[in-house]
Chains A and B, each alone.
Chain A
């Protein structure tokens, strides 16, 4: 693999090829390995006593790793396709947050406000 070099120079403007480079992929890969290994290590060897702190930290690592994948593997930027890929991504992320947090929020409060006789023992969300 030592014969890889960066090939930034030879893009034709006619084809909108992603801006791939060996260096970019390796940065993304190494960062992903680190960002994956730390959460697994934290959970598998019970590093923190606080469960909530662990959850917050591993969710943070997941978000960072998703951004790393977006930049180094999926080559997201504000320029590609005249900005339309980024626009559709932002739109999707907004919908994603509404779907996820809307569902969790509504269903959590439904569980909490359920009449005691109807509660099936389940006491809420993670």
Chain B
């Protein structure tokens, strides 16, 4: 990936190479965290594949069309999307060196994350309550595994968010905290990307069965 620029010298016809080396990654942590996210992406790929294989195995039980409440899913999608943009505002405030602004927007992001979790837990509770728990059919096992894993990621994201807020309050916008904010921003946006796959493949396509 290095750019070799050849400048033919006027005399002698010899080639001179000005090899411009790569910038050494100044923030190796961000790259390492990205690679972690990619491996996480493969976990979700296998869960999506499992769901795809099992999505028609209802075992005589309810299908997605019977169970899914798309208005609730739309609400959840909105929560997650808004939390993504508010996290973006937190990053912008951080780049303006405003601790209060960063913490404020991070807190707003956390509130939307908790709203998302609340709605999802209500949905799970409702489904288990009417006898459509994960043990009902292959479809429901795969559904709870996939959506539950995503929800678990959001849960840990919220825990991380609270931790980060405490670190910001104690130390302010030091270099380490900035790095942490960037890492969590990748994690948070990545979860939103996974959710696009979930609401399209699981909820929208599932309710058309």
Contacts and interface: CB of A to CB of B under 8 A. Distances in A.
Interface stretch (B7-15, B147-155, B193-201): B193-201
A82 B23 contact: yes
Given A18-B182, A43-B207, A55-B205, A92 B42 contact: yes
A21 B73 CA distance: 29
B189 A74 contact: yes
Given A58-B200, A58-B204, A100 B52 contact: yes
A39 B203 CA distance: 11
Interface string A91-121: 1100110011011100100000000000010
Contacts of A84: 25, 31
Interface residues of A, number: 59
Interface residues of B, number: 58
B55 A126 contact: yes
11 contacts: A17-B182, A20-B92, A29-B85, A29-B88, A36-B77, A43-B207, A58-B205, A62-B196, A62-B201, A100-B52, A126-B205
Contacts of B57: 120, 122
Interface in A67-87: 69-70, 73-74, 81-85
Nearest to A84: B31
Given A104-B53, A124-B56, A88 B84 contact: no
A17 B197 contact: no
Interface of B: 1, 22-23, 25-27, 30-31, 34-35, 38, 41-42, 45-46, 48-50, 52-53, 55-58, 70-71, 73-74, 77-78, 81, 84-85, 88-89, 91-92, 95-96, 175, 178, 182, 185-186, 189-190, 192-193, 196-197, 199-201, 204-205, 207-209
A54 B208 CA distance: 9
A43 to B, nearest CB: 5
A95 B25 contact: no
A92 B56 contact: no
B25 A81 contact: yes
Chain A contact residues: helix, strand, loop or mixed:
helix
A99 B81 contact: no
A66 B193 contact: yes
Given A69-B192, A92-B41, A25 B88 contact: yes
Contact of B70 (A43, A55, A85, A107): A43
Contact of A15 (B26, B45, B58): B26
A82 B1 contact: yes
A111 B204 CA distance: 24
B31 A89 contact: no
Interface in A2-34: 4, 7, 13-18, 20-22, 25-26, 28-29, 32-33
Nearest to A98: B45
Nearest to B198: A62
Nearest to A91: B38
A7 B45 contact: no
B85 A25 contact: yes
